[in-house]
């Protein structure tokens, strides 16, 4: 697949995802005017994809980003989360919660 076609396909996928997320939000009345939204990020591809979709669907002032450091994440994961937040210009919207890894696994 050539680069131009790949870019078109990626763009189509992004548009479809944004449309489907927007439709789900509307169908289930998930977010109303004035609501405060928190996007929880683990550093994995799924949560980062949700964060990217949130940046398209909401103004940056419309949500906060939460990262919970359980003490068991790889250093690369933590660096990636901070780099992504910084790249998106959301550093001022980031909330970090550190928990002791022993407490994290207590039931």
Q: How many residues does the chain have?
A: 107
Written as six digits, the tokens of 29 are: 């009345």
DSSP 61-90: GGEEEEEEE-S-S-HHHHHHHHHHHHHTT-
The pLDDT tens digits along the chain (107 residues) read 799 999 999 999 988 988 898 898 889 988 887 888 889 999 999 999 889 888 887 777 778 899 988 888 899 999 999 999 999 988 888 888 888 877 777 75
pLDDT at 107: 55
Whose structure tokens read 């940056």?
Answer: 60
Are 70 and 101 contacting, i.e. CB atoms less than 8 angstroms apart? Answer: yes
């Amino acid at each position: 697949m050539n680069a131009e076609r790949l870019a078109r396909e990626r763009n189509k996928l992004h548009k479809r995802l944004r449309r489907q997320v927007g439709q789900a939000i509307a169908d289930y009345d998930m977010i109303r005017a004035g609501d405060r939204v928190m996007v929880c990020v683990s550093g994995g591809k799924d949560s980062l994809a949700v964060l990217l979709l949130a940046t398209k669907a909401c103004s940056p002032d419309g949500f906060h980003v939460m990262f919970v450091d359980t003490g068991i994440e790889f250093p690369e994961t933590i660096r990636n989360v901070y780099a992504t937040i910084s790249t998106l210009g959301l550093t001022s919207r980031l909330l970090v919660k550190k928990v002791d890894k022993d407490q994290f696994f207590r039931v």
